[in-house]
Amino acid sequence: MVVDAPRPTKPATNLSARLARWGLVIVAAYAAVALVMPLLVHLGLLSDPTAGVDNPVNAAPSWGHWCGTDRLGRDVCSRTLAGSGVALQVVVLAVLIALLIGVPLGMVSGYLGGGLDRLLVLLMDTLYTLPVLLLSVVLAFLLGRGLPNAAAALCVVYIPQYFRVVRNQSVQIKAELYIEAARSLGAGPLWILRRYLLRNVITSVPVLLTLNAADAVLVLGGLGFLGLGLPETVPEWGGDLQLALTALPTGIWWTALYPGLALFVLVLGLAFLGEGLERWLSDG
Amino acid sequence: MGAEPVLQLRDLVVRYPGAPAPTLAGLSLELGRGQRLALVGPSGCGKSTVARAVLQLLPPGSQCQGGLQLAGVDPRNLQGAALQRLRGTAVGLVFQDPMTRLNPLLTIGEHLRDTLQAHRPDQADPIRRQRATALLARVGIPPERYGSYPHEFSGGMRQRVAIALAMALNPSLVIADEPTTSLDVAVAAQVMAELSDLCRESGSALLLISHNLALAGQWCDQIAVLDQGRLVEQAPARQLLLTPRSPLAQRLVARARELEASCSPAPPPAAQLLAIDNLRCWHRLGGPPWQPRWLKAVDGVSLRLQAGETVGLVGASGCGKSTLCLALMGLAEVRGGTVRLQGQDLLTGRGAGRRLLRRRIQMVFQDPLACLNPQMRVGEAIADPLLIHGLASPAAARQRARELLEAVGLSPAEAFEGRRPRQLSGGQQQRVAIARALILEPRLLLCDESVSMLDAEVQAEILALLRQLQQKLGLGLLFVTHDLAVASGFCHRVIVLDGGRIVEEGPGAALLADPQAAITRQLVAACPRLPVGRHAQSN
């Protein structure tokens, strides 16, 4: 007699794997566009995203301009494609800085504990209570426009997230026996942080990284929409959307659709990647 | 004995999903009403799978073929509520680690009441509560503790709660899977006595899954030896332990006897290695500053240890033996006394000199898996101490780690150094932990219950390894254990601790034969021993 117990939850893992694969494809495509775009412009295959003087203004999509032109006569297609490189640069920079500050700070705070820990937790929780967009708007306003400035404004928002996750995990892991065993071997705090704690807390970071990146794309778009963050000369989806907003009631849809779609798909791709990674890491 | 057996397995084959070979390969067993049967065998022989198969707790996708009758019913034909009813009323299960099986947010009273409520929904609440308190009283837990949470109990108390839970519905079969492995000897004996008495009172059959032959022999009428999913031998307990017939049973019994009966002759006189004088480790429990209350974990311990000698530290839980180890490692606060290692003071030194001295003491912990970083490969973990102290370049440390892997019997080293701790068996993990402790070339090795989590055969192997390394390197060993049998066989001298003080000291065999102090007598009495008969002596 054979009793077949219910099959394991195959569909769910398949779905998350599929999500992750799609997410990876989307993000890779954006990265490829970002890399190839300057080359194409240089070769003259695409028009310069900032030059628009000799183009017709607000032209509908046509063979000359696949996605039409905006009210300054700039090619929407090449602006949208160029926006991908800008967005990825700012977001990667911001998230990496947040990671490099938040993770060590969280580890030190969690491992050492005491007054330093309490102070840092208070500080980070205070930062956490402020709305993301509000905080970055204020920072972007204070720092002025520019690519590194926009990245700095964004990263401050994400530092507390890394700090929190890593700190709590450090508190949990420092009670493990292998940390005590390492201390009994004569390892100092720095050595333990580097060789024992880091490797065990870092596993939760990739998921946070991709989810934060998705969030950061949106916040960057929001900053651009408000006229903060990047200078006007840099093609950026949020700024383009702001320009398109006034034209939208007159039936000019292409200036809003393509940058919006680009933003949406990138956020979707990063979110898929994060969800897939989370499933994969928690399963394996 | 009833006409119908409580549990009947006929050619049971169980295969886990993705496993290349079945874990149980045609097992036949029968257990009558009120019978007590022990399942023994080496690790991985399928002992625990029997319990899972009977309760239908196999992971989804597992195959389970052959005859399986539990109180006349085949649990595989039951679904949902009927299966749950069978699990509670026909079988009670006691697990190895009670802490992880109790819900930390429920009081123990609620645990019992929930179980009763699920299976006896018609009973009134006060009656259920009465039954719950009666059950707790039966396993020796006073009714005041009804509202306590699991973390407020010691390991032995928790296991008693687990037993009360298993017995709550008077099941016709109780399955105990290594119920006392995580408990110390004295508590283990009490817990087993409770379990055994309860089974007798309610007429339940007992299926004890254990790797400890002496324990099985003491508490069960019958012993069944399993190997690779098959029944190798089944016989009355005494008969099997005295005259095992199958080669596996003979090997297991021989190993267990070896562990018990071996005796270490006094080592040749050598230089004194460690001298502890009046060591005190007190923890502050509170109280006003002028009248502090102290927990005197170690209270005036003095001992001497010479190179090449093994001293056993024995005592019940909480007697201060682990604190003593931690104090020697510099991980516990010392309140007074002196510790001299090779004539140099270990406690007062500072800076580089102290680090140099500390390197000469290393420790092997109880749980080898927990003391190794799960993210580090074995080779890295062993080489790490050299890097911590800056004694070698990474490449040289790697090479040294390979040599040590060979020295502890994990050869070829190349096959092991790339693995993670989880991918090794318990015995192999402990070998890695020993290699890691030895890479700094210590003079003194502290072993804190280093073999108590391993099964008897692996225990014997690890002890043999330690002895061999000791002879080769002239190590001093301080061997902490709660198992008097192991201590007396392995150690040259045994020291019994109670309440942080030394109560008795002497050669292991003499202590076992003629214990003086009350705690020693208690430990000796609690320690399950293999029966000694004429057959064994003529062997």
Nearest in space to A217 (alpha carbons), one of A229, A207, A227: A229
Is B326 buried (19+), middle (13-18) or exposed (0-12) by CB count in 10 A? buried
Q: What is the predicted pLDDT for the residue at A118?
A: 94
Structure tokens that stand for B43 in this block: 């690790």
Say what the pLDDT of residue A53 is: 58
Q: Which of B59, B61, B388 sits opposite A187 (nearest CB)?
A: B388
Q: Which of B323-327, B435-439, B507-511 has the highest mean pLDDT?
A: B435-439
Contact between chains at B61 and A5 (C-beta distance less than 8 A): yes
Contact residues, chain A, for B370 at CB < 8 Å: 176-178
Relative to beta strand B293-306, strand B272-286 is antiparallel
Q: Which residue has the tokens 């510790």?
A: B339
What is the 3-class SS of B10-64, one letter each residue? EEEEEECCCCCCCCEEEEEEEECCCCEEEEECCCCCCHHHHHHHHHCCCCCCCEE
Residues B519-531 as b/e (b if ≥16 CB within 10 A, e otherwise) read bbebbbebbbebe
Tokens of B82: 């009927």
CA dihedral B431, B471, B341, A192 (to 10 degrees): -20
Q: Specify the DSSP class assigned to residue B492.
A: S
May I ask the CATH class of domain B7-254? Answer: alpha beta
Q: Which among B60, B372, B385 has the least Cβ separation from residue A7? A: B60
Binding-site residues on chain A for chain B (CB distance < 8 A):
1-8, 176-178, 180-188, 191, 195-196, 199-200
Residue B160: predicted pLDDT:
85
Percent of chain B with pLDDT over 70: 97
Structure tokens at B233: 């031998």
Q: Enumerate the β-bridge partners of residue B481.
A: B314
- Indicate the SS3 state at residue A21: helix
Cβ within 8 Å, pair B376-A180:
no
Q: B536 pLDDT exceeds 50?
A: no
Tell me which fold the domain A88-283 belongs to. MetI-like fold (1.10.3720)
- Tell me how far apart the alpha carbons of residues A233 and A217 are, in angstroms, rounded to a whole number: 19
How many pairs of residues across A and B have Cβ atoms under 8 Å apart? 72
- Residue B52 contacts A, CB cutoff 8 Å: no
A102 φ/ψ angles, rounded to the nearest 5 degrees: -65, -40
Angstroms from B66 CA to nearest CA on chain A: 7
Of B63, B370, B384, the CB nearest to A176: B370
pLDDT digits (tens, 9 = 90+) for B519-533: 888 888 888 877 776
What's the pLDDT tens digit per position in B440-496? 989 999 998 888 777 777 888 888 889 888 888 888 999 988 777 788 888 888 899
Q: CB contact, 8 Å: B55 with chain A?
A: no
* Token output for B463: 């002890």
Q: Can you give B192-221 as a three-state secondary structure string?
A: HHHHHHHHHHHCCEEEEECCCHHHHHHHCC
Q: Give the Å distances, CA to CA, from B404 to A196, B436, B448.
A: 22, 8, 21
Distance CA A108, CA A96 (A): 18
B202 DSSP β-pair partners: none
Averages of pLDDT over runs of 10 residues in chain A (284 residues) are: 45 74 92 89 78 71 77 83 89 91 94 92 90 85 85 88 92 88 87 90 85 89 86 85 85 87 93 84 64
A180: closest chain B residue by CA: B371
Min Cα–Cα distance to chain A from B14, Å: 10
Say how far apart CA B339 and CA B351 lie, in whole Å.
Answer: 17
Count of other CB atoms within 10 angstroms of residue A204:
17
Q: How confident is the model at residue B432 (pLDDT cuts 50, 70, 90)?
A: very high
Q: How many CB atoms lie within 10 A of CB B218?
A: 20
State the pairing for strand pair B7-15/B24-31. antiparallel
Homologous superfamily (CATH) of B272-360+442-538 is: P-loop containing nucleotide triphosphate hydrolases (3.40.50.300)
Residues of chain B with CATH 3.40.50.300: 7-254, 272-360+442-538
B347, B332 contact by CB (below 8 A): no
What is the reported pLDDT for A261?
Answer: 93
- Please tell me the total number of residues recorded for chain B in this structure: 539
* Mean pLDDT score, B303-319: 86
Distant-in-sequence, close-in-space partners of A186: CB < 8 Å, separation ≥ 6: B355, B358, B359, B385, B388, B389
Please judge whether B440 and A185 are an interchain contact, meaning their C-beta atoms are less than 8 angstroms apart: yes
Q: Do B331 and A2 touch (CB under 8 A)?
A: no
Torsion angles phi and psi, residue B78, rounded to 5: -95, 150
Contact predicate B460/B216, CB 8 Å: no
The answer, yes or no, to whether the previous bond of B515 is cis (omega within 30 of 0) is no
The residue among A199, A237, A224 whose CA lies nearest residue A70 is A237
Given this model, what pLDDT does residue B263 score? 67
**pLDDT score, position A125:** 92
pTM: 0.76
Q: Does B33 touch chain A (CB under 8 A)?
A: no
Q: Which of B2, B1, B22 is nearest to B12 (CA)?
A: B22
What tens digit of pLDDT does each residue of B151-193 get? 887 777 888 888 888 888 888 899 998 888 777 777 888 888 8
